[in-house]
């Protein structure tokens, strides 16, 4: 990959499907030093950040099928996984790219 000359929009990669998207289209998660994962809606929390699409399938792959664990080399403990999937269930539709805001 060569570097582009112009880069207006910061791109981030979804850890589940590896698609690069503008940061604003993704949901940021952070991992605390204690190893807990949580949603970071303001995208400003400190800690190890990672991104998932607003697409429930990516959350299933990321949280339940181990993509987050592989990307961060840190297992998603059961409580965090339950919280993340509950959030996804409430905020994301199963069809791709429904807007939350």
> Rule CB under 5 A: which of 23-52 touch Zn ion?
none
**Binding-site residue total for Zn ion (CB under 5 A)?**
5
Q: What do you get for the CA distance between the two ends of the chain, in Å?
A: 33
Q: What is the dihedral of CA 43, 45, 42, 59, to 10 degrees?
A: 60
CB 17, min distance to Zn ion, A: 3
Examine residue 53 and tell whether it contacts Zn ion (CB under 5 A).
Answer: yes
16 versus 63: smaller Cβ distance to Zn ion: 16
How far apart CA 92 and CA 54 sit, in angstroms, is 6
Side-chain half-sphere CA neighbours of 67 within 13 A:
17
* Of the candidate residues 16, 68, 76, 84, the single one contacting Zn ion (CB under 5 A): 16
Residue 58 binds to Zn ion (criterion: CB under 5 A)? yes
Site for Zn ion, rule CB under 5 A: 14, 16-17, 53, 58
């Amino acid at each position: 990959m060569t570097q582009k000359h112009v880069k207006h929009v910061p791109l981030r990669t979804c850890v589940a499907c590896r698609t690069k998207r503008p940061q604003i289209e993704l949901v940021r998660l952070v991992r605390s030093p204690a190893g807990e994962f949580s949603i970071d809606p303001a995208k400003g929390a400190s800690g190890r950040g990672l991104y998932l699409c607003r697409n429930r399938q990516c959350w299933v792959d990321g949280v339940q099928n181990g993509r987050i664990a592989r990307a961060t080399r840190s297992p998603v403990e059961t409580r965090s996984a339950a919280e993340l999937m509950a959030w996804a269930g409430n905020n994301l539709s199963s069809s791709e790219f429904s807007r939350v805001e």
